[in-house]
Amino acid sequence: MAKKVATSKSKNENEMYKRMVNAAKDLQAALRFEPPLDHTLPEDELMEKLAEAAAEIQEGDILEDDTWNVLYELKLIQNPEEMDDDDDDDDEEEKPVTSKIPPKSSPKSKTAVSSNPPSHEKKYTRQSALAEILMGLKTKTITVDDLVDRSDQLYSDRTGKALNRKEAESTARRGVEMLCLFGIVEVQGDAIRIVKK
């Protein structure tokens, strides 16, 4: 009789890969990457894509709890319990946290990133920047590249966040598609023309 040779990964490794695939699908559904996040990649390449995706998570993004857990287990985000456990001095100035932090919540639920208490002020978003640029145009036309660059710069100026052309381009594309559906703008080649204000 021939011996059975173990050619597949251990059960734990296969389970983690399945969770990584599910996390990639959840991140794609929530953040709508262009091009889409490929969840069929080999494990090491998928890990790199998850790291890139984790860097794009912003406050208010809603993800499955297991997605947060996978990102934490892969050390792509910081666990909130590990932050500032050793010192509770109120005298020290609070240090800003730059890493992505998942919220504490119950299993099987979708949760949003929220590092600040609820505020009655409206949060300034990329969509806000896009609308402000379109509403403030002196002429009725703007090129797609100009709209992307100007809205990205305005968003960066208002929020203090770094420029991110890829995210600005994705937001502009989705926003312009919606405005076209409502007959507010028309796209003619590389130009966007405002039909109604």
pLDDT, tens digit only, all 197 positions of the chain:
555 544 555 677 789 999 999 999 988 888 888 888 888 999 989 989 998 888 888 877 888 889 888 888 888 887 655 544 444 444 444 444 434 555 554 445 455 554 444 444 568 889 888 888 888 887 888 999 999 999 999 988 988 888 999 999 999 899 888 888 888 889 988 899 888 76
Q: Output the pTM of the full model.
A: 0.42
Which residue, 78, 72, 97, 81, is CA-closest to 19?
A: 72
Q: Is 24 exposed, middle or buried (0-12, 13-18, 19+ CB in 10 A)?
A: buried
Question: At 176, is the secondary structure helix, strand, or coil?
Answer: helix
**Model pLDDT, residue 182:** 87
Identify the CATH class of 126-194. mainly alpha
Residues of the chain within CATH 1.10.10.10 domain(s) are: 126-194
* Tokens 């996040």 sit on residue: 37
CA dihedral 105, 111, 116, 120 (to 10 degrees): -120
Identify whether the C-beta of residue 163 lies closer than 8 Å to the C-beta of residue 139: no
Q: How far is CA 182 from the centre of its chain?
A: 26
Which residue, 13, 12, 36, is CA-closest to 25?
A: 36
